[in-house]
Each structure stands twice: as C-alpha cells, then as structure tokens.
Structure 1
Amino acid sequence: MRALNKLTSAQVKSAGPGKYGDGGGLWLHKREDGGAQWFLRMTVHGRRREMGLGNLSAVSLKEAREAAERWRAVARSGKDPIKERQRLGREAERMDNTLRTVAEDAFEARKAELKGDGKAGRWFSPLELHVLPKLGKVPVEELDQQDIKNTLAPIWHEKADTARKAMNRLSIVFRHAAALGLDVDLQAIDKAKALLGKSRHKATNIPSLPWQVVPAFYQSLTEPTVTQLALRLLILTGVRSKPLRFMRLENVEGDIWTIPGEEMKGRLGQTADFRVPLSTEALAVIEMAKPHEREGYLFPSVRKGVISDATMARFMERKGMEERPHGFRSSLRTWLAEATDAPHEVAETVLGHVAGSAVERAYRRTDFLEQRRVLMERWVQVCLGRTGEVLAMVSS
C-alpha cells in the first residue's frame, strides 16, 4: 500500500506554489495567487475521479486526511464518492429542518387563510426582520426559550406589537414543526415570554377628532381633488382606509357599496362581503370623484395604483392636525354612542366589526343594513352642520 501521511503541518504552511501528495491519493494544490485546495484522486469503476475536499484556509491537514479516508472507504464499497456526496447533499436539503425552512413551509401552508394569500408578506415580515437573521440557520429542534428570549429582547419593550406578532408567528411555526414529526419544545414560546417579562410599552390610540369638531373639518374640504374627496367619503362611511382607497365603481350598485370580504379586517376569518349604505352626500362625493377614475379605481394616485394612507395623513398634517384618517372611525363610533340610541351590535356593524358571540352570529342573519342607512343619513346631517350644534373650527 502506498505510504500515507507524507506531509507535515510545517510543510503545508511553508510550501510554495505546486502540488504536494500526502499519500493515498490526497493532494494539496497551492496556486500562484496564494490560494490552496485539498483534493482526492481515486479510481472508481475503472475511471479516474478527482474530488475536492475544501480550501486549506478552512480544512486543516488532519481534517483533510479524515475526509480522504472517509471517501476512500466509500470507493472501496463500490460507490462513486462524488455521486454519493451529491446524493447525501440532496437528502440533507430534503431534511432541512432549519427554522427558516420550517417557517417558510408554515407560511405556505397558511397562505390560503391570509388576505391575498399573504402575498404582501406582512404575515412573514416579523420573522423575516427580527428572528430569521439570527436564528434562521438553526435547526428548529435545537431552539429553546433562551434563543428566543435573546433574539426578541431588543424589541420586546420598544416595539411591543411587532415582538408580539413575532412570538405569535413562532408559536405557529413550532406547532407546524411538531405536525411534521420534529421534536420541538412547544413550551419554548411561553417560557421565553416568562423570561422576557411584561412589556413596558404602553399602547397609544390613533389620534382622532372629537365628533363635535368633525363637521368643521368636513366642511373645510371644498376642493374636488382625489385626496379631499377620499377624506370626505372616509368620514361619511366610517370604513377603513384600505377598502376606501381601493374602491372600484363596479362594486357600487345604486346606494350600496359592497366591499369584497378579503378587504375586510378583523372579521374572525369570515370571507363574506360587507355592504355599506351610501348616504345622499356619499353618492354626491362619488359623482364628483368619477372624473378621476383610472383602471376602475375611484381614487388613483398621481402615477400608478391608488392613493396611499400617507397621502391623506400628510394633508391633515399640513393643516396643523395631529389626528389621522383612521381616527374618523373613532369619531363616528363615539357619536353613535353619545348622540344616538343605536344598539351596540348595530353600532359595531356600522364600522364593520364582528359583534356578539359565535352562537349569536350563527342565529343572526342580518347586517342591519336599513338601520345603518338611517344612522348614516343622520351622520351626514352632523357633518354638514345641520343639527344645531355649536361646532369648534379646525385650523386651516
């Protein structure tokens, strides 16, 4: 048998450019540019094979010898070491149980439950931004509460809502891993929460105008621009910004605007469309907005798509206001509570909220459309200042 272990560590370190044999087919190739690689020469099935074993900077002489013996044993068993390594690599990919791989698989499995199949990436972003950069390459079975705690500690108090979402997503990923048959600690999430303690972050509500002041602001919107018309319709209908900004004329029939179910938020997985009664003032605003229509959208942006929520918010900022567009929902809800006798479930339905228990909803087969229609006409009178209330002015 050919002599083995011919090289020494000193020779490996000091040798100049060239090829140096260690015996048994193991060679070190030092290049002119200073790089160096290990490779193994073998004869398999009558064919000469040459197999790379890594760079000298990453693989020591000892490690190269161990690898060479391992692959020589494969060759002695009648298998091609290069093909066997490729096969093992493919198996490793199939058995990739890193947190990133399992998280992506969990995301794919849940897409059908998410709005727009989760294409916007908002479901995955808390993991992508705050967890996977640190833990993505770690096998999910090796993760424990300390790993999770250390990863989320930097945002636990400063970005509490994001941290909460990241924890929620991790819990789903761990349950998905368990369903795949992986040995994960399903209690790791709760343990991590215990280690992190209660968040010191205090949630703040989106600033909103008192309902008594809304009329002054509404009446200040006198220009027929996309932004001002969008704000007017937002105030009149009480809907969220997104369905309003993506409003399409094809979804308006008579005095009813039907918002597709996937555009509704917070409806506990329900996909039913939501009908919005349009008051006489709302219909008038829509008529004024029609000349702006582009590609079916009533409120297009200057360049492409539809206006953003930030567009309306910046308009309010320029008027010296701290309040934001979403706050008009709070203004409307407070008016419903303080100035009307609307039942709770009707008032909640005005805002598109799900009211009542699951059993109550199962037996209640109405969306209170007619009751809401009356309320929204009354709200118009408030916005137009026809109720006799003394209203404070909004700075312009």
Structure 2
Amino acid sequence: MARPKHKLTNAELKAKPPGKYSDGGGVWFHKRPDGGAQWFLRYTSFGRRHEMGLGAYPSVTLKTARQEAEKWQAVVREGKDAIRERERQRREAVRNLHILSDIALDAFESRKAELKGDGKAGRWFSPLQLHVLPKLGKTPVSQIDQRDIRDTLAPIWHDKADTARKAMNRLSIVMRHAAALGLDVDLQATEKAKALLGKQRHKPRHIPSLSWQDTPAFYQSLDGGTVTELALRLLILTAVRSYPLRNLHLDQIDGDTWTIPAEAMKGRKGATEDFRVPLSQEAQRVVAEASKFAREGFLFPGVRKGVISDMTMGKFMDRRGMVERPHGFRSSFRDWVAETTNTPHDVAETALGHTVGGAVERSYRRTDFLEQRRVLAKRWAEVLYRTNSQKVAVLRP
C-alpha cells in the first residue's frame, strides 16, 4: 500500500511544536527548539538512507518543498544519489559562470614567468584588454563560440591584421587555460572564427625609419643632455631594441661590453644565453654621461619611479615633428651595413640580436662574432658623429 502524501497543511506549520513531521513521500518538516525550521528529503540510495536539505522555512514554502522533493526523487529513481547529483550540478553551474575577463587574468598570471620582464610592459595582455574584453569580458567562457569571436575581431581583422592575429592567439591560450581549469569550453572556437573571418588581406606596414644618411644629423642634434636624449643616442649607437635599453642596469656593463640578460632579448627564439653588445668609445661616453642620472642602478630612470616608458623616446621624436620611430634606427643601421660595408650576413644579423641559422648549425657554431661586431660598432659611431658622414670607408671582412 502506497504511503500517503501531503499530510501537512500551511495552517498547522507555524503551530507545530519542536520535532520532525512527515509530509509523506519522504518529505519531512523539522521544527527546532529555537523556533527555526527547515525541510529535508529522506531517501534510500544504494542501500543507505540519506537526508537531503531542501531549504529553510518559511523562505521555502510547503508547495516549493514538495516540488523540490519530487525533482530529486526522480533522480533517485534513475539510480543516482540525489545529494551527489546536486553537488555535481552546482559545481558545473559554478564552472560555467566563470567570465572571460577573470579567466584571461588568471591565464596571464600563470604565464608571467615566461614573459619578458614578467609581462610588466603589458604587451601580452593588451591585445585582449583593448580588443576582446570590452565586448566579451563579462561573458561566461563556456558560452563563447566562433560567432562571438568573429563579431568581436571583425572590425580589426584586415585593418589591424597583426593586432587581430595577436588577439586571436591570446584568446586561444585563454580558452585552453579555461579547459585546463575544468571548464566546459569549445577549444576549436578560435580556429572556427578564423574560418569565418577569412584570410587577412592586410599588407604589413613597416615601422617608419630615418635613412642612415640622415641619422647622423639627428644623432648630433641630441645635445640637450636629458635622460631621453641620452637613451636615444645609445639606442642609435647600439641598434638594440627599446626594452633592454630602457632596462639597462649598470651591473650589465663591463668596460666596453654590455651584456643583456637572455630573458630581455626578443627575436632569439629558443636562446638561453645572454647577448653581448660591443660598446664603442662614443657609446661609453654616453653611458658615463647618463650615469649621473642613474637610480637604483638603472641608467635611464623614469621621472618618478622605475625606468623610462616605451613611449618616452617616441614622444620626443613626435615633438620634433618626426613620423619615424625609435625602433626604426635598427633599420637605419642595417641599411648602412648593407650599403657601405662588406659585412657577412651572419655578423650583420647577429649585430641586431637576430638568431642566425638552424638549431643544428647553432649547436656547432658557438661564436657571437663579438670582435667583428666591435669593429662594426666603432665604424657606425664614426658615421654618427662625423660631420661629413656619408664618406665612409668600406668595412672589409
């Protein structure tokens, strides 16, 4: 004979004395001595009796308690443990509520150690921050599909192709990070989005650079003795990238050689060794002049703290009415090498900090051509501060 259901009524619930009262069908009402009360479901699963809370009374009404009980009784009839199933559903719901901005920040934090300067410059995160998170940042990562990604990156897919490519790459990493966290995401969403967006038709724009013939006049105009001007002079003399120069520490300089830590070098994929830069006498004079501004050992300190920013030298050139960028002086140097010297290709490329040759070739060739590059640096310095700079003797190998 089936057990009767719905024994209790709303009218009698408040009047009940402390104790446990069955409503039938496994639904129970527990009135505590302190006046509080709650509902629970009593059921048997795998030969064991369980009591599953259904909520506090009166927040959970008699009708709601009966509906909840029926839902979980159906789960038990399927051969599942109701309590465990509810916990599983709660965990899944929590996982699926993780929004993209939170996952992106977590992915960024987990990768800082492998990024240059622990990612402090923000270059890894900025494509996401500027072009993805404003539109998708508050979207649960589990709900993001290829159409969302397509619509987000479509405005820059062709006009800012390199930036869009970086944003897509970073987003793919974030999605894989989400999957590693156990979240339910579509790992193919970025590849599908690429298929929807189509092949990029953007032609890369080269960074504007000053011709090597005009570089000496600009170099000689940097005579104000400011931190920014000294930084630009050393940047031009050494043809290095902005990051290692801005973060140059006096401990890295030993006489006529500046040693850049491996982690500060870009463009040397797989490199684990530091990179030596020869310093001409002119470069050493610049270092000596800049040393009076040094703070905490850094040769080019910022106005308030840290070192000068990535934009400092660029803004200086802007004020001069120039469209050329500081990074372009690497091209100026490389063009001078190609047009006026007989420098071997490997030496010229190594002077720019580029990786030359394949992995096998590099494993046998241990030289960094330092002495040949030292001659090249001396000649380049002579070009820069010589009045008639275009009359340059050809450098023989």
Amino acid at match of 2:136: K
User: Are 1:286 and 2:283 an aligned pair?
Assistant: no
Whole-Å Cα distance in 2 between the matches of residues 321 and 339 of structure 1? Answer: 25
Distance verdict in 2 for CA 1:63–1:368, change over 3 Å: farther
Work out whether 1:264 is the aligned partner of 2:265: yes
Alignment of 1:195-274 (within 5 A): 195-274=196-275
CA distance in 1, matches of 2:129, 2:65: 37
CA 1:176–1:388: 2 relative to 1, 3 Å:
closer
Matched with 1:298 is 299
Structure 1 residue 116, shift from structure 2 partner: 3.6
Letter in 2 for 1:376: A
CA distance in 2 between partners of 1:225 and 1:388 (Å): 24
Deviation, structure 1 residue 134: 2.2
Query: Residue 95 of structure 2 contacts residue 183 of structure 2 at CA under 8 Å; is this kept in 1?
Result: no
The residue that corresponds to 2:322 in the other structure is 321
- Corresponding residue SS for 1:331: helix
Residues 174 and 186 in structure 1, CA contact (< 8 A), matched pair in contact too: yes
For residues 178 and 86 of structure 1, what CA distance do their matches in structure 2 show? Answer: 20
Q: Does 1:137 align with 2:134?
A: no
SS in 2 for 1:326: helix
Q: 1:68-119: per-residue Cα shift (whole Å, max 9, x none)? A: 64468899x9x997x9967864575578887667766655664443224445
Contact 1:381 1:387 in 2 (8 A): no
**1:355 alignment partner AA:** V
Give the alignment's Cα RMSD to 1 decimal.
Answer: 4.4
**TM-score under structure 2 length normalisation:** 0.74
Whole-Å separation in 1 of the counterparts to 2:333 and 2:147: 46
CA contact (8 A) 1:42 1:72 kept: no
Q: Which runs of 5+ in 2 are unaligned?
A: 11-22, 29-36, 43-50, 393-397
Q: Normalising to structure 1: TM-score of the pair? A: 0.74
Superposition pairs of residues 53-92 of structure 1, within 5 angstroms: 66-67=67-68, 69-70=70-71, 89=90
Worse-matched range after superposition: 271-280 or 117-126: 117-126
1:20 is matched with none
Q: Distance in 2 between matches of 1:315 and 1:101?
A: 37
> What are the residue-to-residue correspondences of 1:1-396 with 2, within 5 Å?
1-2=5-6, 41-42=38-39, 51=55, 66-67=67-68, 69-70=70-71, 89=90, 93=94, 107=108, 110-118=111-119, 120-131=121-132, 133-134=135-136, 136-139=139-142, 144-173=145-174, 187-385=188-386, 389=390
Q: How many residues align?
A: 356
The alignment partner of 1:289 has SS state of helix
Instruction: Among all aligned residue pairs of Structure 1 and Structure 2, give the percentage whose two residues are the same amino acid.
Output: 62
Deviation at 1:359, TM superposition (A): 2.0
Does the CA contact (< 8 Å) of 2:159 and 2:202 recur in 1? yes
Query: What per-residue deviation string (whole Å, max 9, x for no partner) do you get for residues 175-232 of structure 1?
Result: 5677789887655433322221122433221111100011111111112111111111
Residues 99, 140 of structure 2: 8 Å contact kept:
yes
Q: CA deviation at 1:365?
A: 0.3
